[in-house]
Amino acid sequence: MVDAYGSPTPINQVGTVNVPEPRMVTINVWDKALVGKVEKAIRESGLGINPQLNGTIIMLPIPELNEERRTQLTKVAGQYAEHARVAIRNLRRDGMDQIKKAKNDGLSEDDQKFWEQEVQELTDRYIKLVDQQLETKQAEIMQV
């Protein structure tokens, strides 16, 4: 995400992203004023990619994946998975709050228990799915 025009914007909405070579990604930024912001966003992303400027074109050479780099990428994947888990838990909290409000508005106690159990089962199922996806992705990253 790039801080463009006062709001976070995906990079593909401020420029054209191309892959001219297998180990190179280029971003042709449409607005010259945003080139520095795009470069800064890439540097701060935690991906470990060092952008190179060429006018309005930002070149991103993708480094070879060594063991250390693979370990870093698995940590990044773990951070994304944790963000997903937090989002799921926030949705669970919101659902539980709505159930409590409905109980105050006349929902029976049996219905309240039923819906709380449903929300918890959905939460558990999707957190388990995130964990499975993370394991798969980490195994894929570490594969040589």
DSSP state string for 55-68 = TTEEEEEPPP--HH
pLDDT at 128 over 80: yes
Q: What is the CATH number of the domain that holds 86?
A: 1.10.132.20
Whether residues 50 and 29 fall in one domain:
yes
- Which residues form the domain of 30? 2-61
Report percent pLDDT > 70 for the chain: 100
CB 109 within 8 A of CB 143: no
What is the total count of domains within the chain?
A: 2
pLDDT at 120 over 90: yes
Whether residues 45 and 71 fall in one domain:
no
Q: Single out the residue in 19, 37, 61 at which a domain terminates.
A: 61
CA distance readout (Å), 40 to 20, 27, 37, 46: 22, 13, 5, 11
| pTM across the whole model | 0.62
Whether residues 82 and 26 fall in one domain:
no
- Between helix 109-142 and helix 67-104 the angle, nearest 10°, is 170
DSSP β-bridge partners for residue 47: none
Mean pLDDT, residues 107-136 taken together: 93
Report percent pLDDT > 90 for the chain: 40
Whether residues 137 and 107 fall in one domain:
yes
Q: Single out the residue in 26, 61, 96 at which a domain terminates.
A: 61
Q: Is 26 helix (H, G, I), strand (E, B) or coil?
A: strand
pLDDT at 46 over 80: no
Query: What's the full length of the chain, in residues?
Result: 144
